[in-house]
Chains A and B, each alone.
Chain A
Amino acid sequence: MNAVSAIAQHSGAIAWRNLVGLRRTPGAIFASVLQPIMFVFLLGYVFGGSLGGEAYREFIMAGIFAQTVTFNAAFTTIGFANDLQKGIVDRFRSLPMSRVGVILGRTSSDLVTSMISLLVTSLCGLAMGWRIRSSVLDAVAGYLLILLFAFAMSWVGAYIGLVSRSVEVAQSLGLIWLFPATFISSGFVSVVAMPEPLATIAEWNPITALAGAARILFGNPAVPGLPQPDGWPAQHAVGYSLLCSLVIIAIFMTLSVARYRKATAR
């Protein structure tokens, strides 16, 4: 078997195992479904009232897509920490299999979780008045871009899971970075209104890029009261978002694989 088909078989088997497990523990899916529902209605109606109503609710959907898939990284983190703690990773590591296979299997199966989350988010958005106002092709490109970012975040989550010494640590580490990462962005507010250096961080934040790109590809206009920056990242939102995802995947794939060799249960 050549290396590529070996990796495909290994990660396929691991992804199959994760999905079988997921199907048998519906409680775990529950969170990935409930979370986007909460985001959509809380942000849409709690903030929406004072920030622009209808138009605001349409505006934030792209931000919620980005936030939802970013938060799904926590599933990868906790899934990995669990496997480590139960010694299942030890069993995998004692087998003559590719190192990347186990992690790729996990990030692939978590992509399915993200798809479910995206579907639920979209349905909630539609119920709230959000619409896709672009072509089918653009819409498909938008979803693919979001999924690519979900995949990238999953690799970040995998790395955090691998460095956590226990499930408890993984639970806090895996969640804590999500708040600054998603809120210091153009997801729900105007980046222009932030003080420096937050404004610059937010402008270059990959999550800002994804939200901006999704707005373009879904044809959702900005809200007049929330001016958006027009620097390089904003002008090249789609390309920049694509680049961010690829770079994040490359970095965290390398880190995770290196870490996987040393990761131990205990």
Chain B
Amino acid sequence: MTGYAVQITGLRKNFGTHTALDGVDLAIPAGQVFGLLGPNGAGKTTTVRVLTTLLRADAGQVLVAGADVATDPQQVRRNIGLSGQYAAVDDRLTGFENLYLVARLYGMTRRRSTAVARDLLDRFRLTDAADRQAAGYSGGMRRRLDLAGALVAAPPVVVLDEPTTGLDPQSRLDVWEVVGELVGGGTTVLLTTQYLEEADQLADRIAVLNHGRVIAEGSSDELKQQAGGERLELVLGQLRDLPAVLQLLEGLGELIVDERARRITVPVSDGQRALAAVLDLLNANRIRLLDAGLRRPTLDEVFLGLTTPVAEKVSA
């Protein structure tokens, strides 16, 4: 046993002349939540599709619970549950029938299929809607039903492609709760997301994907560390003060200016002291501020810093 639920090495995939995956390496530890982050078109869904046997890679190896997706896809399918980017719910069937169908396709008996479907509907708070056609479900209900479909056979590896996109806050919390329960029960969860907050909250480890490559990997703390420490942030009352302020702050560090927001950001080492000094200086020069404060980098900044071309060299 390697301790990894999923191992991806040198994964490549082209669509015609377009390179969707350009040598992806990932090792996903068993029993953890692994977050795959990336902007639109980064290759998240392509990675998910290869690892759930829906798409054949051009090169590289993918092992899921020890089975190779290329040579033993059927074994891989026994070990994974997939909830794709777009909910694969049959509108004409009721919620119950959708899950019952999946259970039957797993080869379960009628009695067991019924029990499993009812149990999942309960877990996802769909019991009241169980016997209504899915066509009448809200977006959140459909998503939850699709998610439930991925768990029918209680697979050791669950893959969720943007599980909370388009959900309202309550539904999102519901999904988070389920992910928490799954991991509590020893399941490995791979989720892709565009919500950095979500990766921050849920994922033990995060990989940032861009243009088909992993450009950073680590825990969310490690990634934040990479983006640098504390920053001092000032928002000016009036834009015309900007030149003067820039002159006053000269030598403090590398100033990042956002003119539209009238915001100046500067990385600092001793934040508290720097803040006091800067405020004294600005007060003495009668510069009005709208806002001033110290900030730790958010995962958003890490993400943007990593995925915008300038900062692309900051790789893991």
Contacts and interface: CB of A to CB of B under 8 A. Distances in A.
Contacts, number: 72
Contact of B93 (A20, A94, A95, A262): A20
Contacts of A24: 92, 133
Interface stretch (B80-88, B235-243, B300-308): B80-88
Contacts of B93: 17, 20-21
Chain B residues touching A, range:
20 to 34
A86 B84 CA distance: 11
Nearest to A87: B88
Interface string B84-125: 101110101100010001101111000000000000000000
Interface in B32-56: 49, 52-56
A101 B101 CA distance: 13
Given A88-B90, A91-B88, A92-B105, A264 B55 contact: yes
Contacts of A14: 101, 105
B107 A1 contact: yes
B191 to A, nearest CB: 16
Contacts of B49: 264
Nearest to B85: A87
A265 B106 CA distance: 22
Contacts of A92: 105
Given A91-B149, A94-B54, A264-B55, A13 B92 contact: no
Interface string A68-109: 000000000000000000111011111111000100000000
B275 to A, nearest CB: 51
A112 to B, nearest CB: 15
B77 interface: yes
Nearest to B94: A20
Contacts of A17: 90, 93, 97, 101
A94 B77 contact: yes
A9 interface: yes
Contacts of A95: 77, 102, 105-106
Contacts of B82: 90-91, 94
B74 interface: yes
B106 A264 contact: no
Contacts of B53: 93-94
B78 interface: yes
A189 B106 CA distance: 50
Contacts of A10: 104-105, 107
A87 B86 contact: yes
Contacts of B105: 10, 13-14, 92, 95, 97, 101
Contacts of B78: 96
A219 B47 CA distance: 61
Nearest to A262: B56
A9 B107 contact: yes
Contacts of A46: none
A91 to B, nearest CB: 4
Contacts of B55: 264
A25 interface: yes
B161 to A, nearest CB: 10
B54 A21 contact: no
A176 interface: no
Interface in A41-65: none
B57 to A, nearest CB: 13
A246 interface: no
Interface of A: 1, 6, 9-10, 12-14, 16-17, 20-21, 24-25, 86-88, 90-97, 101, 262, 264-265
* Shortest beta-carbon contacts, A-B, top 3: A21-B92, A91-B88, A13-B104
Given A17-B93, A97-B106, 19 more contacts: A14-B105, A16-B101, A17-B90, A17-B97, A20-B93, A20-B97, A21-B90, A21-B93, A25-B92, A86-B86, A86-B90, A87-B86, A90-B88, A91-B149, A93-B54, A94-B52, A96-B75, A96-B78, A264-B54
8 contacts: A1-B107, A10-B105, A21-B93, A91-B88, A94-B54, A96-B74, A96-B106, A264-B49
